[in-house]
Amino acid sequence: MTELPITQRASQIQPFHVMRLLARARELEAMGRDIVHMEVGEPDFKTPQPIINAGLAAVKTGNIHYTAATGLTALKQKIAEHYQHTYRVSVNPEQIVITPGSSGALLLSLACLVEPGKNVLLADPGYPCNRNFSYFLDGDVKAIPVDASTHYQLSAELIAAHWDENTVAVILASPSNPTGTLINSAQLQSMVAVVDKFNGVIVMDEIYHGLVYQQQPRSILEYTDNAFVINSFSKYYGMTGWRVGWGVVPENYITVIDNFAQNIFLAAPTPAQYAALAAFDAETKIILEQRRQAFEQRRDYLLPEIKMLGFNVSAEPQGAFYIYADCKKITMNSETFVEQLLEQAGVAITPGVDFGTNKANQHVRFAYTTTLERLAEGVKRIKGFIANS
Ligand SMILES: Cc1ncc(COP(=O)(O)O)c(C=O)c1O
């Protein structure tokens, strides 16, 4: 075969193992097998009807042209109101950029910060795309191992210990994927202080904020204006496939973010932006709140069940829809365990390797993005699988 040119960065971006797993699960389903899906990182619920209606109406009335690169003004205003209501924080709508999913906001934000020779700090385990965004921008990553002692989050102390002269930013997520743990308000404040001291920037992923149980999460914007906030209509609002998210960027970056957005995406999908206008309606809120409670019930069911199976969860998840569990009592090779569990028992979960290298072989992630009945079926099958292996 002729050798065609390909960049070095192509070899740096690792595949998402869970996607391979999902493909195999679909293959098995096509062969007639019944698979319990506990690997999927998206809500099983359909998009709330008021949002669907608003999207359909936009298409029917011909609202299908490009919007401004940073998004519909009306949507930015609603998002700004959301910050005022939820966190008592004033955000200038001009600081908001609507993007294709929060992935778009992550890329644009990191494009303002990362370049060759520079690095970002992030937690291991953590959301895998973050490090790949940095590699994509020819920057480097310092993945810091975290454990239950810091609730699987970075801390001000860890940031101070790992920051070097080439570090430009730290990426945080609260609640985290894969652990579902939060960063509390005292820690957020200490982190802001330490990052300020280094003249750096926090990139704060708040995509799971709607899905927090028994407490109100704090936005980083309550403590600083010098942070990029990443959020999305994907998870809490049930709009994964519509591809619409947002970023809130510090005032100094408004123009550069606009320039990047104009060139890289032109704009987020227009019907999806019109649909998202209904995401903050009172009737939508009622539906979303019921779903949040359903997720909480699922967590409360699944957590003790997997512990009884021998998995250890050393920091209890307070949000999102994930449980990150230590499986060392059962296996020290989570990748093989996950593959065999799928093939032999028809249950799909995600191996730790998708979230970094820190004790990845002794961890798995359960997503409770399926009904209580299916979760119970999954638990039953895992129990049988462990008993027979
Ligand atoms: C922590 C985190 N951030 C960002 C994303 C990206 O989501 P989207 O681009 O759909 O908003 C995900 C998706 O799984 C995630 O888990």
Residue 287 has pLDDT above 90, yes or no: yes
Cα 207 to ligand 1 centre (Å): 7
Q: What is the pLDDT of residue 113?
A: 98
Q: pLDDT category, 13, cuts 50, 70, 90?
A: confident
Residue nearest to atom 13 of ligand 1 (CA): 41
Nearest-atom number in ligand 1 for the CA of 104 is 9
pLDDT at 9 (0 to 100): 87
- Report the residue among 19, 108, 212, 235 best suited for mutation to probe ligand 1: largest number of ligand atoms under 8 A from its CB: 235
Distance, in Å, from the CA atom of 330 to the CA atom of 301, rounded to the nearest integer, reads 21
Q: What is the pLDDT of residue 284?
A: 98
Tell me the pLDDT band of 165, cut-offs 50, 70 and 90. very high
Provide residues with CB under 6 Å of ligand 1.
Answer: 41, 101-103, 127, 173, 177, 205, 207, 232, 234, 240, 245
How confident is the model over 35-45, as a mean pLDDT? 94
- State how far the Cα of 226 lies from the Cα of 114, in Å rounded to an integer: 16
Banded pLDDT at 281 (limits 50, 70, 90): very high
Whether the Cβ atoms of residue 231 and residue 109 lie closer than 8 Å to each other: no
CATH class of 8-46+283-388: alpha beta
**Domain residue limits, the chain:** 8-46+283-388, 49-281
Protein residue closest via CA to atom 14 of ligand 1: 41
Contact yes or no for 89/222 (Cβ under 8 A): yes
Average pLDDT for 117-125: 98
How confident is the model at residue 163, as a pLDDT? 98
Mean of pLDDT over the chain: 96
92, 47, 44, 98: which is closest to 70 by C-alpha? 98
Quote the pLDDT of residue 15.
81
| CATH topology classification for 49-281 | Aspartate Aminotransferase; domain 2 (3.40.640)
Residue pLDDT, tens place only, 60-112? 999 999 999 999 999 999 999 999 999 999 999 999 999 999 999 999 999 99
Q: Which atom, in ligand 1's list, is nearest to the CA of 102?
A: 11
Task: Give the pLDDT of residue 1.
Answer: 73
The pLDDT value recorded for residue 137 is 96
Q: Do domains 8-46+283-388 and 49-281 have the same CATH topology?
A: no
Report how far ligand 1's centroid is from the alpha carbon of 229 (Å): 13
Sign of torsion over alpha carbons 351, 357, 361, 365:
negative
User: How far is the centre of ligand 1, averaged over its atoms, from the C-alpha of 61 (Å)?
Assistant: 30
For 251-321, strand residue ranges (E) read none
Give me the pLDDT at residue 19, please. Answer: 85
- Expressed in angstroms and rounded, the spacing between residue 233 Cα and the centre of ligand 1 is 10
